[in-house]
Amino acid sequence: MNLFDILGPVMVGPSSSHTAGAVRIGRMARRLLGEGTPQAAKITLSGSFAATGQGHGTDRALVAGLLGMQTDDARIPVSFAIAKECGMRCTFARKNLSGEHPNTAKLELTGKSGKSLSMIASSLGGGRIMVVEMNGLRVSFSGDLPTLIVQNRDQPGHVRDVSGVLAAGGVNIATLHLYRDYPGGSAVMIIETDKTVPEESLDTLRAIRGITGVTFVSAETGMMPVASPTKISES
Protein backbone atom coordinates (compact mmCIF):
# COMPACT_ATOMS: atom_id res chain seq x y z
CA MET A 1 0.00 0.00 0.00
CA ASN A 2 1.31 3.45 -0.77
CA LEU A 3 1.43 6.35 1.70
CA PHE A 4 -1.93 7.73 0.56
CA ASP A 5 -3.63 4.35 0.88
CA ILE A 6 -2.71 4.61 4.59
CA LEU A 7 -3.61 8.31 4.96
CA GLY A 8 -6.91 8.87 3.19
CA PRO A 9 -9.24 8.71 1.44
CA VAL A 10 -10.87 12.00 2.35
CA MET A 11 -14.39 10.68 2.67
CA VAL A 12 -17.86 11.02 4.05
CA GLY A 13 -18.20 8.41 6.82
CA PRO A 14 -18.81 6.05 8.36
CA SER A 15 -17.02 3.23 6.55
CA SER A 16 -14.28 3.17 3.92
CA SER A 17 -15.59 -0.14 2.57
CA HIS A 18 -19.34 0.40 2.98
CA THR A 19 -19.49 4.13 2.19
CA ALA A 20 -16.40 5.37 0.26
CA GLY A 21 -16.06 2.07 -1.65
CA ALA A 22 -19.77 2.17 -2.48
CA VAL A 23 -19.43 5.72 -3.91
CA ARG A 24 -16.59 4.49 -6.10
CA ILE A 25 -18.65 1.49 -7.29
CA GLY A 26 -21.51 3.79 -8.31
CA ARG A 27 -19.09 6.14 -10.05
CA MET A 28 -17.44 3.32 -11.94
CA ALA A 29 -20.82 2.07 -13.21
CA ARG A 30 -21.72 5.61 -14.34
CA ARG A 31 -18.42 5.92 -16.19
CA LEU A 32 -18.78 2.50 -17.82
CA LEU A 33 -22.27 3.41 -19.02
CA GLY A 34 -20.69 6.57 -20.44
CA GLU A 35 -23.83 8.68 -20.78
CA GLY A 36 -23.73 10.82 -17.66
CA THR A 37 -26.42 10.28 -15.06
CA PRO A 38 -28.46 7.13 -15.82
CA GLN A 39 -32.23 7.32 -16.20
CA ALA A 40 -32.85 4.24 -14.13
CA ALA A 41 -30.79 2.18 -11.74
CA LYS A 42 -31.66 -1.17 -10.21
CA ILE A 43 -29.33 -1.80 -7.30
CA THR A 44 -28.95 -5.19 -5.65
CA LEU A 45 -27.13 -5.27 -2.31
CA SER A 46 -25.42 -8.52 -1.34
CA GLY A 47 -23.80 -9.93 1.81
CA SER A 48 -22.67 -7.35 4.34
CA PHE A 49 -23.84 -4.56 1.99
CA ALA A 50 -27.35 -5.96 2.43
CA ALA A 51 -27.02 -6.66 6.17
CA THR A 52 -25.50 -3.38 7.38
CA GLY A 53 -25.72 -1.24 4.26
CA GLN A 54 -28.44 1.08 5.45
CA GLY A 55 -26.64 1.89 8.69
CA HIS A 56 -23.47 2.65 6.72
CA GLY A 57 -25.29 4.70 4.09
CA THR A 58 -24.23 2.19 1.41
CA ASP A 59 -27.46 2.74 -0.53
CA ARG A 60 -27.06 6.53 -0.51
CA ALA A 61 -23.36 6.19 -1.35
CA LEU A 62 -24.03 4.02 -4.43
CA VAL A 63 -26.62 6.53 -5.67
CA ALA A 64 -24.17 9.40 -5.00
CA GLY A 65 -21.59 7.65 -7.15
CA LEU A 66 -24.13 7.14 -9.94
CA LEU A 67 -24.74 10.90 -9.79
CA GLY A 68 -21.00 11.44 -10.32
CA MET A 69 -20.08 12.47 -6.77
CA GLN A 70 -16.68 11.81 -5.23
CA THR A 71 -16.12 10.08 -1.86
CA ASP A 72 -15.80 13.43 -0.02
CA ASP A 73 -18.97 15.04 -1.38
CA ALA A 74 -21.01 16.50 1.49
CA ARG A 75 -24.22 15.77 -0.47
CA ILE A 76 -23.81 11.97 -0.16
CA PRO A 77 -26.26 11.75 2.78
CA VAL A 78 -28.97 13.46 0.68
CA SER A 79 -28.22 11.73 -2.62
CA PHE A 80 -31.73 10.22 -2.86
CA ALA A 81 -33.30 13.67 -3.06
CA ILE A 82 -30.75 14.78 -5.66
CA ALA A 83 -31.41 11.64 -7.73
CA LYS A 84 -35.09 12.52 -7.70
CA GLU A 85 -34.35 16.07 -8.88
CA CYS A 86 -32.15 14.67 -11.67
CA GLY A 87 -34.86 12.27 -12.76
CA MET A 88 -32.88 9.11 -11.95
CA ARG A 89 -35.22 6.32 -10.82
CA CYS A 90 -33.59 4.02 -8.27
CA THR A 91 -34.90 0.70 -7.01
CA PHE A 92 -33.24 -1.48 -4.39
CA ALA A 93 -33.20 -5.20 -3.78
CA ARG A 94 -31.41 -7.41 -1.27
CA LYS A 95 -30.24 -10.74 -2.56
CA ASN A 96 -27.21 -12.83 -1.77
CA LEU A 97 -25.02 -13.06 -4.85
CA SER A 98 -23.46 -16.43 -4.02
CA GLY A 99 -19.72 -16.78 -4.39
CA GLU A 100 -19.08 -13.05 -4.29
CA HIS A 101 -17.03 -11.01 -1.79
CA PRO A 102 -19.11 -10.06 1.31
CA ASN A 103 -19.26 -6.38 0.28
CA THR A 104 -20.79 -6.59 -3.18
CA ALA A 105 -23.42 -4.78 -5.23
CA LYS A 106 -24.97 -5.40 -8.63
CA LEU A 107 -25.95 -2.30 -10.61
CA GLU A 108 -28.22 -2.49 -13.64
CA LEU A 109 -28.36 0.86 -15.41
CA THR A 110 -30.36 2.28 -18.26
CA GLY A 111 -28.99 5.40 -19.92
CA LYS A 112 -30.71 8.26 -21.70
CA SER A 113 -30.17 6.64 -25.12
CA GLY A 114 -31.65 3.37 -23.90
CA LYS A 115 -28.20 1.82 -23.54
CA SER A 116 -27.93 -0.58 -20.65
CA LEU A 117 -25.10 -1.72 -18.42
CA SER A 118 -24.96 -4.47 -15.85
CA MET A 119 -22.04 -4.49 -13.42
CA ILE A 120 -21.15 -6.41 -10.26
CA ALA A 121 -18.43 -4.88 -8.10
CA SER A 122 -16.98 -5.55 -4.66
CA SER A 123 -15.57 -3.18 -2.06
CA LEU A 124 -12.29 -4.64 -0.84
CA GLY A 125 -11.57 -2.32 2.11
CA GLY A 126 -9.96 1.08 2.49
CA GLY A 127 -12.19 2.36 -0.32
CA ARG A 128 -10.57 0.13 -2.94
CA ILE A 129 -12.97 -1.62 -5.35
CA MET A 130 -12.95 -4.40 -7.93
CA VAL A 131 -15.35 -4.82 -10.85
CA VAL A 132 -15.98 -8.58 -11.09
CA GLU A 133 -18.70 -8.82 -13.73
CA MET A 134 -19.66 -6.61 -16.66
CA ASN A 135 -22.68 -7.32 -18.86
CA GLY A 136 -22.68 -10.93 -17.73
CA LEU A 137 -19.00 -11.62 -18.35
CA ARG A 138 -16.61 -12.27 -15.47
CA VAL A 139 -13.88 -9.62 -15.37
CA SER A 140 -11.48 -8.19 -12.82
CA PHE A 141 -10.34 -4.59 -12.71
CA SER A 142 -10.07 -1.84 -10.14
CA GLY A 143 -9.93 1.42 -12.09
CA ASP A 144 -6.82 2.45 -10.11
CA LEU A 145 -4.90 2.73 -13.39
CA PRO A 146 -6.17 4.05 -16.73
CA THR A 147 -8.23 1.13 -18.06
CA LEU A 148 -9.17 0.24 -21.62
CA ILE A 149 -12.10 -2.13 -22.06
CA VAL A 150 -12.43 -3.67 -25.50
CA GLN A 151 -15.42 -5.84 -26.36
CA ASN A 152 -14.99 -8.06 -29.36
CA ARG A 153 -16.01 -11.30 -31.04
CA ASP A 154 -13.91 -14.19 -29.78
CA GLN A 155 -11.81 -14.72 -32.91
CA PRO A 156 -8.08 -14.68 -33.75
CA GLY A 157 -6.16 -11.44 -34.10
CA HIS A 158 -7.86 -8.93 -31.80
CA VAL A 159 -5.16 -8.98 -29.12
CA ARG A 160 -2.65 -8.24 -31.88
CA ASP A 161 -4.89 -5.43 -33.18
CA VAL A 162 -5.19 -3.80 -29.78
CA SER A 163 -1.57 -4.20 -28.69
CA GLY A 164 -0.46 -2.87 -32.08
CA VAL A 165 -2.63 0.23 -31.83
CA LEU A 166 -1.47 0.90 -28.26
CA ALA A 167 2.19 0.46 -29.23
CA ALA A 168 1.72 2.87 -32.14
CA GLY A 169 0.14 5.35 -29.72
CA GLY A 170 3.09 5.05 -27.35
CA VAL A 171 0.98 3.54 -24.58
CA ASN A 172 2.62 0.95 -22.32
CA ILE A 173 0.43 -1.95 -21.12
CA ALA A 174 0.64 -2.54 -17.36
CA THR A 175 -1.70 -5.56 -17.24
CA LEU A 176 -3.82 -7.41 -19.80
CA HIS A 177 -6.66 -9.81 -19.09
CA LEU A 178 -8.90 -11.68 -21.53
CA TYR A 179 -12.35 -13.07 -20.81
CA ARG A 180 -15.00 -14.75 -22.99
CA ASP A 181 -18.28 -16.57 -22.57
CA TYR A 182 -17.62 -19.48 -24.98
CA PRO A 183 -15.32 -20.21 -27.99
CA GLY A 184 -16.31 -17.93 -30.83
CA GLY A 185 -18.75 -15.98 -28.60
CA SER A 186 -18.34 -12.60 -26.91
CA ALA A 187 -15.01 -11.58 -25.45
CA VAL A 188 -13.69 -8.68 -23.44
CA MET A 189 -10.14 -7.42 -22.95
CA ILE A 190 -9.32 -5.43 -19.84
CA ILE A 191 -6.09 -3.53 -20.33
CA GLU A 192 -4.55 -1.37 -17.63
CA THR A 193 -2.12 1.18 -19.01
CA ASP A 194 0.48 3.57 -17.65
CA LYS A 195 -1.01 6.60 -19.34
CA THR A 196 -4.10 7.91 -21.09
CA VAL A 197 -4.94 6.21 -24.38
CA PRO A 198 -5.10 8.92 -27.12
CA GLU A 199 -8.48 9.56 -28.72
CA GLU A 200 -7.06 8.66 -32.18
CA SER A 201 -6.05 5.23 -30.89
CA LEU A 202 -9.58 4.68 -29.56
CA ASP A 203 -11.03 5.69 -32.94
CA THR A 204 -8.67 3.32 -34.75
CA LEU A 205 -9.83 0.48 -32.50
CA ARG A 206 -13.49 1.35 -33.01
CA ALA A 207 -13.06 1.02 -36.77
CA ILE A 208 -11.77 -2.56 -36.58
CA ARG A 209 -14.24 -5.25 -37.68
CA GLY A 210 -15.13 -7.61 -34.88
CA ILE A 211 -14.51 -5.01 -32.16
CA THR A 212 -17.94 -4.12 -30.84
CA GLY A 213 -17.20 -1.72 -28.03
CA VAL A 214 -14.32 0.45 -26.86
CA THR A 215 -14.49 2.09 -23.46
CA PHE A 216 -11.69 4.02 -21.80
CA VAL A 217 -11.79 4.86 -18.12
CA SER A 218 -9.08 7.31 -17.17
CA ALA A 219 -7.78 7.13 -13.62
CA GLU A 220 -7.91 10.93 -13.32
CA THR A 221 -10.23 12.69 -15.71
CA GLY A 222 -13.34 10.58 -16.01
CA MET A 223 -14.57 8.82 -19.03
CA MET A 224 -14.49 9.17 -22.75
CA PRO A 225 -17.55 8.41 -24.88
CA VAL A 226 -18.10 5.00 -26.35
CA ALA A 227 -18.40 5.00 -30.13
CA SER A 228 -19.95 1.60 -30.73
CA PRO A 229 -22.11 0.76 -27.76
CA THR A 230 -23.04 -2.74 -28.91
CA LYS A 231 -23.86 -4.86 -25.91
CA ILE A 232 -21.87 -7.94 -25.18
CA SER A 233 -23.67 -11.09 -24.16
CA GLU A 234 -26.29 -10.95 -21.43
CA SER A 235 -25.90 -14.28 -19.73
Partner 1 sequence: MAIESLAALTEAGKHEDLFDVIVRSDCVDRGVTPGESIAQMTALYGAIRRAQEGYDAGLRSHSGMVGGDGARMRAYASSGRTICGEYIGSVLAQALEMGESNACMKCIVAAPTAGSCGVLPAVLLPYQQREGLSDTEMVPAMYVAGAIGQVIAQKASIAGAAGGCQAEIGTASAMGAAALCYLAGGSAEAVCHAAAMAIKSLLGLVCDPIAGLVEVPCVKRNAAGAMIAMSSADLALAGIRSAVPPDEVIDAMREVGDKMDVSLRETGLGGMAATPFGQAVSEKMNSTEP
Q: Which of 39, 40, 51, 185 binds partner 1 (CB under 8 A)?
A: 51
CB-CB neighbours of 116 under 10 Å: 16
CA 223 to chain centre: 10
Q: Residues 109, 38: contact at Cβ < 8 Å? A: yes
DSSP assignment of 39-97 equals: SEEEEEEEEHHHHHTTTTTHHHHHHHHHTT--TT-TTGGGHHHHHHHHT-EEEEEE---
Q: Give the nearer residue to partner 1 in terms of CB position, either 10 or 167.
A: 10
Piece in contact with partner 1 (CB under 8 A), picked from 13-21, 131-139, 163-171, 213-221: 13-21
Sites for partner 1 among residues 136-175 (CB under 8 A) = none
Q: Among 36, 40, 42, 54, which residue interacts with partner 1 (rule: CB under 8 A)?
A: 54
If one asks whether residue 2 binds partner 1 (CB under 8 A), the answer comes out as yes
Interface positions, 117-136, toward partner 1 (CB under 8 A): 125-127
Q: Does 13 sit near partner 1 (CB under 8 A)?
A: yes
Told to check if 14 binds partner 1 by CB under 8 A, we report yes
Q: Is residue 5 close enough to count as binding partner 1 by CB under 8 A?
A: yes
Round to whole Å and give the CA distance between 106 and 41.
10
Kindly state the DSSP code that residue 223 receives in the 8-state scheme. B
Q: Which of 14, 102, 93 is nearest to 57 (CA)?
A: 14
User: Among residues 7 and 160, whose Cβ is nearest to partner 1?
Assistant: 7
Binders in 86-105 for partner 1, by CB under 8 A? 92
Q: Which stretch binds partner 1 (CB under 8 A): 8-16, 129-137, 152-160, 201-209?
A: 8-16
Cα separation, 142 vs 96, whole angstroms = 22
**Min dist. Cβ of residue 17 to partner 1 (A):** 8
How far is it, in rounded angstroms, from Cα 59 to Cα 44? 10
Q: Where do contacts with partner 1 occur on this chain (CB under 8 A)?
A: 1-16, 19-20, 48, 51-52, 54-57, 72, 74, 76-77, 92, 125-127
